[in-house]
Structure 1
Amino acid sequence: MKPKITVIGSLNMDLLVKSSRFPNRGETILGESVEYFSGGKGANQAVAASRLGAEVTMIGAVGDDLYGDRLKEILKKDQVDISSIKTVGGESSGLAVILLENADNRIIVIQGANAHCTKEDIDLNQDKIRESDIILIQMEIPLETVNYAVSMAKTFNKTVILNPAPAQELSDDLLQKVDIITPNDTELRLLTNKKTEGYNFNQRIDMLLEKGVQHVVTTIGSEGSVYKAAKQDLITFPAYQVPVVDTTGAGDCFNGALAFALGRGDSITDAIKLANKTAALSVSKYGAQSSMPTLDDVHEFEKNLNY
């Protein structure tokens, strides 16, 4: 039986600009190429989970511009239920400008219609939340909506995964309702604020656990990921060595895979292992959604691993 996952988050059109290096402040340089990809952390994670075999519903918003229908159609082709994505009149769809230097990236996000994903949208879709196994949420929609969605999910006793990107200060009340939080190393530092300068990884993770989060899964790029639960030792999951083409969407791929694996009943450690493999495959291709692998791709990758 397919795991049921509801993703609440953003949909963006990604503008990918490739150059040999990033420009310095005040400098103009010539780029190498420009490409358009469908993206947004919410949509990316929805596609990642769907391609692995989950039954995915996306709750979000697009503008009534030329990108809005296209963003929904692309999700539909990946078997994502788009019936809960609304179109906001007079608003542009979300846009992400991604500067790519070799395999490294810098990203600027324009919220657009994503800022209009509201508590009312959560109320309208409470039946879908109630019927889900996993609720997966990010921070590219209003914080008020995130808080409301997490609270509703917990009233239905659903497992909530919060990907705190882009990172911002979160209340203890919100963190206490989150089952699993998945920051990257930069987001972990921002979540635990600048007063903890000099704290190590473990201490920062403990700060989140002390606030009530049940599980902290931190991704650290090419070094893999680490996991810790309350009163347990830190567990390290090394990254898989693959040729890196584009890291855009790797974190989203990880989160979608984590939700899929937990939804089908994997232990959290097994889910992290699958997520690591899935994210490793994603960095070998350009784009975010276009790079998300299928479960067959992951199984083929596993056959070729040197254990």
Structure 2
Amino acid sequence: MSIIVFGSLNMDLVAQVSHLPEPGETLLGSGFATIPGGKGANQAVAAARLGAPTAMAGCVGDDGFGLLLCESLQASGVATDLVLVHAGPSGVALINVDEVGENQIVVVPGANAKVAVTDVERLPLGHEASILLMQFEIPLAAVQAAAKRSADCCVIVDPAPARSDLPPEFYGLVDILTPNQTEASQLTGLQVTGVTTAMEAAQVLRQRGAATVIVKLGSQGAVVSSQSEVFHVPAFQIEAVDTVAAGDSFNGGLAVALWEGKSLRAAVEWASAVAALAVMKAGAQSSMPTRKQVEAFLRQHPTGDS
């Protein structure tokens, strides 16, 4: 059994800046890099580097970026047989990162917008896969169709970017919903500022039908709400360099931990360690840690269940 990531592949065009620009402001950057990314591909790389058999499903363009995106996945051990090539450009993300690691991201979908409901039929759900990990950088109709076909899988959805057009029945198809602080606010209309308000937002999302909700709070950790328990997992105290892939590394780590049979609490603690290591390095896929690195980190920063 394996993990299938159904989602986006983007080339990240990353500029290092002194501060995030205001509207109309022009900045001189201090650095630039072209880095394979996309929330789907990032999460697939995170899972594969942690040792789980992982397959990526999605679309790239027939440009140079598309080839590089697939090669990057393969180099990390991700199977790309389910990645289709469409005529036209691949997806790109324009990213500004400031001196304290905060970021601004603009995503241009490119080939990601061509992912279709019919592509879901190619996914070996319930046969070869036990975890289906998805995001919202591909068309919602395809995400919903995959969730409907995944009765035998654990469906994890990272609702990024957050959408205001989610049909009510969508939540009931999701086993684990993992919004960050901003996305939880956008989905619920509540102002999520910390642990207490995150618990309130998680409860709203569970009432809509999501079986389990994990609200990622960055330096404040994560709040988990399921039918049987509600708890807070504090963040590891580290110095962040680049938060671009924080949520993606967390989701990849969560998928691997659950695939291995860890308890929900232990899985969230493991995912938090993966995210902590990822934000200590620059880049998206290039910052994803290996299993050995996570295990060494947890020996130095032990938690209750890890």
Q: TM-score, normalising length from structure 2?
A: 0.94
Deviates more, 1:26-35 or 1:8-17: 26-35
Distance 1:73 1:236, change over 3 A: same
SS at match of 2:96: strand
> Which of 14, 17, 36 is residue 15 of structure 2 equivalent to?
17
Q: CA deviation at 1:129?
A: 5.2
Whichever residue aligns with residue 261 of structure 1, its letter is A
Distance 1:231 1:37, change over 3 A: same
SS at match of 1:68: helix
Distance 1:306 1:146, change over 3 A: closer
The C-alpha deviation readout for 1:181-229, integer Å capped at 9, x for no partner, is 00001100111136999x9332221111111111001100111111011
Whichever residue aligns with residue 159 of structure 2, its letter is P
| Residue 78 (1) aligns with residue 76 (2) | yes
How many residues matched?
299
Q: CA deviation at 1:303?
A: 1.9
User: What is the correspondence of 1:111-126 to structure 2 with a 5 Å cutoff?
Assistant: 111-125=109-123
> Which of 164, 177, 191 is residue 159 of structure 2 equivalent to?
164
SS at match of 1:59: strand
The C-alpha deviation readout for 1:96-118, integer Å capped at 9, x for no partner, is 01101121001000000000111
SS at match of 2:265: helix
Q: CA deviation at 1:24?
A: 2.1
Q: CA deviation at 1:277?
A: 0.5
Q: CA deviation at 1:128?
A: 4.9
User: What is the correspondence of 1:125-204 to structure 2 with a 5 Å cutoff?
Assistant: 125=123, 127-128=124-125, 130-154=127-151, 157-169=152-164, 170-193=166-189, 200-204=197-201
The C-alpha deviation readout for 1:210-250, integer Å capped at 9, x for no partner, is 11111001100111111011363x31111111121101111
SS at match of 2:301: coil
Q: CA deviation at 1:121?
A: 1.1
The C-alpha deviation readout for 1:247-279, integer Å capped at 9, x for no partner, is 111100000000001011111111000000010
Q: Is the 8 A contact 2:190 2:201 kept in 1?
A: no
Distance 1:49 1:306, change over 3 A: closer
Distance 1:98 1:300, change over 3 A: same
SS at match of 2:36: strand
Whichever residue aligns with residue 95 of structure 2, its letter is I
Question: Structure 1, unaligned stretches of length 5 or more?
Answer: none
Q: Is the 8 A contact 1:130 1:153 kept in 2?
A: no
Q: Is the 8 A contact 1:130 1:158 kept in 2?
A: no
The C-alpha deviation readout for 1:12-48, integer Å capped at 9, x for no partner, is 0001101111222222121111111100000000000
Q: Match of 1:281?
A: 277
| Residue 219 (1) aligns with residue 193 (2) | no
Identity of aligned residues (%): 41
Q: CA deviation at 1:120?
A: 1.3
Q: Distance in 2 between matches of 1:66 and 1:290?
A: 19
Whichever residue aligns with residue 8 of structure 2, its letter is S
Give the alignment's Cα RMSD to 1 decimal: 1.7
Q: Distance in 2 between matches of 1:195 and 1:41?
A: 24
Q: Distance in 1 between matches of 2:8 and 2:39?
A: 6
Q: TM-score, normalising length from structure 1?
A: 0.94
Question: Structure 2, unaligned stretches of length 5 or more?
Answer: none
Q: Match of 1:299?
A: 295
Q: CA deviation at 1:158?
A: 1.1
Q: Distance in 1 between matches of 2:205 and 2:131?
A: 21
> Which of 206, 209, 224 is residue 206 of structure 2 equivalent to?
209
Q: Distance in 2 between matches of 1:289 and 1:186?
A: 22
